[in-house]
Chain A
Amino acid sequence: MKKAAVTQIFKQAVCIAMVLVVLAPILLTLFAALKTRADMVNTSPLLLPAHVTFANFRKVLGNKYLWIGFRNTIAILAVSVFFNVLLGAVTAYIIERFQFRFRSVVVALFFAGMLIPSFVTEIARFKIIKGIHLYNTLGAPIIIYIAADLMQLYIYRQFISALPVSLDESALLDGCSYWGLFARIIFPLLAPATATVVIIKSITIINDMYIPYLYMPANRLRTLTTFLMDYANAQQGSWQNLAAGIIIIMLPTILLYVLFQRYILAGITAGAVKG
């Protein structure tokens, strides 16, 4: 009996240590965000000041580029996720359910697409985006997110393989067209997978730094993340201001995580288990 208790205490200690490591950088940044410049010098970074101030947060929230960034991020997100869901679901459905002449070519193509290294591909993609005049428009990240990010295929394929084929067959026998079959029967049944894809994609897009940084240098096209980069460069030495910006930018995905944790974890593991 005693051994079990000691083991449990040891396990709890390890886990609590983990929680501290996870929370430390975030909490300490929050502390800084609540301090004045004087507080930063006079109080230990490990402690809250005697009087917390929200001036830093007010400053960030008053910056118009934060809201421009918010608006742009939402716009990019909405369009990209919409098409990712639609195209991903129908592609996964066809690959999973149909045998046709070029199936292996298509499957190989999509798999090879996932192997190409992410950052350096932009060296070649840059030319194409510029060529179709999408450089410095919201269209650039949108088209790249739709075309190149293929993890939704894993999630949809796994889900579709669990749907009974008899469903398709009875619908077709009843005279339903393939489009009707997909739109009215298959797609609604994919709702949990769609929820997972929407949430995971949203997090990926909100957090993306590289594509907006590379393709949208204009100020009016800031996203939440590139706004933070600009803000950081402007805050030389003023950690408390930057800290407030950091906390605000962290909030959207933390919120999504808190609300939809179940879907996120299901999707992440589905994407990794090649069944």
Chain B
Amino acid sequence: MHSLAQKRRQFIFLALMIPTALLVAFVAVPGADLIRMSFTNWDGQSAASRFIGLDNYVSMFRNKDLWLSLKNNAIYFLVHLCMIPVELAFAVLLNSKLRAAKFYKTMVFMPYIINGVAISYAFSYFFSPVNGAFDAILKALHLSPLIRNWLSDPAIANYVLASVSLWRFSGYHVVLFLAALQSVPQDIQEAAEIDGANTLQIFRHIQVPQIMLMVDFVLFDNVRGALQVFDIPFVMTQGGPGFATSTFTLYTINTAFKYSNFGLASTMAVAIMVMIILVYVVQNEIIHGLILKDKR
């Protein structure tokens, strides 16, 4: 007869064995391998790969197109960042006395669950230069002079793509903020109202501090998402014209699978991981250290 302690240990070991093994094999090992490969010149096919030290890192830093792509990532990041206060405001709106609030909540979140490839093609049609729907809307509003080559003009294409990203993900942020707002205790808000606080004051001094956890999460998610933008430019413009709408991840993936340089691509992948951490830390410092001064 096994003791209870032994049975317990057996259970834990056997039950965790498969998920942990899968995690190690398919997540941890590739993660570590990325770092190892960044020091080699593997091409993805041959059995042999040569250790080439820091050569990949040097050529990565010298690659102008890659860092131009990063500039495009910054556009997604900033466009989304500017939208976050709007999303927050909209969540406050949905949380207030509003008729059909449930319906609006359903609608605002819907873009998030829609097939990304399908909607990317839909927007390609929307912004099409020949008889496109967006151009038709502008004409109907007598704003024809504003018509541009939305997806092929290097000066504005990234902003157009970033707005597609906004369409897809703003609703997700709104719903997260709404959930955070709804977890704020009612009695505190009511006491403040009785004491004469107006909507803006309640927002600033009661609601915002309570939802900072969620705001932090959304801010982190923005950093992570912006540095990994891939499918929208991949489907809509393939990073073109040239590299005008390319992103860091798109360039990295092409380096591996199109140009068969897995070593160099791994170096770029390592760079992405480092950048996510760096940008997040800097952002956290700015927001909590300088602006809010509430560093814990």
Contacts and interface: CB of A to CB of B under 8 A. Distances in A.
Interface in A38-58: 40-41, 44-46
Main secondary structure of the interface of B (DSSP, over half): helix
A165 interface: no
Main secondary structure of the interface of A (DSSP, over half): helix
Contact of B269 (A41, A121, A203): A121
Contacts of A40: 131
A253 B115 contact: yes
A177 B15 CA distance: 13
Contacts of B235: 209, 229
Interface centre among A120, A209, A265, A268, by most chain B C-beta atoms within 10 angstroms, is: A120
B113 A120 contact: no
A81 to B, nearest CB: 15
User: How big is the B interface, by class?
Assistant: 35 or more
Contacts of A243: 122, 125
A178 interface: yes
Nearest to A209: B117
Given A11-B93, A46-B133, A172-B4, A120 B117 contact: no
Interface of A: 8, 11-12, 14-15, 18-19, 21-26, 28-29, 32, 40-41, 44-46, 87-88, 90-91, 94, 98, 100, 106, 109-110, 112-113, 116-128, 143-144, 146-148, 150, 172, 177-179, 182, 203, 206-207, 209-210, 214, 224-225, 228-229, 232, 239, 242-243, 246, 249-250, 253-254, 256-257, 261, 264-265, 268-269, 272-274
B176 A272 contact: yes
Contacts of B147: none
A120 B179 contact: no
Given A87-B18, A100-B12, A123-B265, A272 B114 contact: no
Contacts of A203: 113
Interface in B1-52: 4, 7-12, 15-16, 18-20, 22-31, 33-34, 37, 44
27 contacts: A8-B98, A14-B90, A18-B107, A32-B125, A46-B133, A94-B16, A112-B31, A123-B265, A124-B29, A124-B30, A128-B29, A128-B30, A147-B26, A206-B115, A207-B114, A210-B231, A239-B128, A242-B121, A250-B119, A254-B114, A257-B113, A261-B109, A265-B105, A265-B175, A269-B175, A269-B179, A273-B217
B19 A87 contact: yes
B118 interface: yes
B253 interface: yes
Given A8-B99, A28-B133, A178-B7, A126 B167 contact: no
A143 B16 contact: no
Contacts of B63: none
B116 A22 contact: no
Contacts of A254: 110, 113-114
Contacts of B96: 11
Contacts of B266: 123-124
A8 B100 CA distance: 11
B30 A121 contact: yes
B281 to A, nearest CB: 14
B57 interface: no
A253 B175 contact: no
A232 B179 contact: no
B78 interface: no
A26 B113 CA distance: 13
Contacts of B217: 272-274
A209 B116 contact: yes
Contact of B257 (A19, A117, A214, A253): A214
